[in-house]
Amino acid sequence: MRRNFGYITLGVSNDTSEFACECVSKWWFEHGKAEYPNSKKLPPLCDCGGGDNARYYIFKEDLQKLSDELNIEIRIALFPPYTSEYNPIEHRLSPHIARACKGAIFKTVDIADDLIGRASTSKGLKVFSSVLDKTFETGRKYADDFKENMKIKFDDFLPKWNYVAVPDRIQRLGYN
């Protein structure tokens, strides 16, 4: 938010946990890694709808895989259902995207991508938009032993909404 940048990934498939994690991965490799080269943690704010739903263990499993792949701690802070309007990112970004897209008919995802990428403000907000052209399978199930062997660390305060995926390598070393 301090950098006044927004990142939107449009999907052409289903809103699944795999899609949510792939969006984070895409952002990390295209923007985050360069902008935050010394970062050891990612703190995404999630809306708890669709693929990142707090009840879905498949999201936690995919999140753990992403944390292992990136070798970075991912701290999830979920907004409870029907409260995403309190997400500060939505307040800073959504009105400007809506204005940039006003009156447009999205006949293709490329039209939406182009218009969203044009969203800006007089104070310098810049929006980066991209398309994730991949099909994501719905109905995937988490591994049979995932719940018993889950490495996700739940916070003491509101554990349903706040938790951390720590990379396996860091867990083995005993760091937190």
The CATH number covering residue 82 comes to 3.30.420
- Give pLDDT, residue 50: 80
Asked if residue 108 belongs to a domain, the reply is: yes
For residue 110, what are the domain limits?
A: 5-135+148-173
- Give pLDDT, residue 172: 57
- Give pLDDT, residue 3: 78
Asked if residue 116 belongs to a domain, the reply is: yes
Rounded to the nearest integer, the mean pLDDT of the chain is: 89
Asked if residue 87 belongs to a domain, the reply is: yes
Asked if residue 141 belongs to a domain, the reply is: no
55 burial class (0-12, 13-18, 19+ CB within 10 angstroms)?
Answer: exposed
If we measure between CA atoms, which residue out of 27, 33, 49 comes closest to residue 129? 27
Tell me the whole-structure pTM to 2 decimals. 0.87
Asked if residue 153 belongs to a domain, the reply is: yes
Asked if residue 75 belongs to a domain, the reply is: yes
Asked if residue 143 belongs to a domain, the reply is: no
Q: pLDDT of 13-56, one tens digit each?
A: 988 999 999 999 999 999 999 999 999 999 887 887 788 888 88
- Asked if pLDDT for residue 111 goes beyond 70, the answer is yes
Cα gap 176→173, rounded to integer Å: 9
Look at the chain and report how many structural domains it folds into.
1
Asked if residue 142 belongs to a domain, the reply is: no
In three-state secondary structure terms, 46 is strand
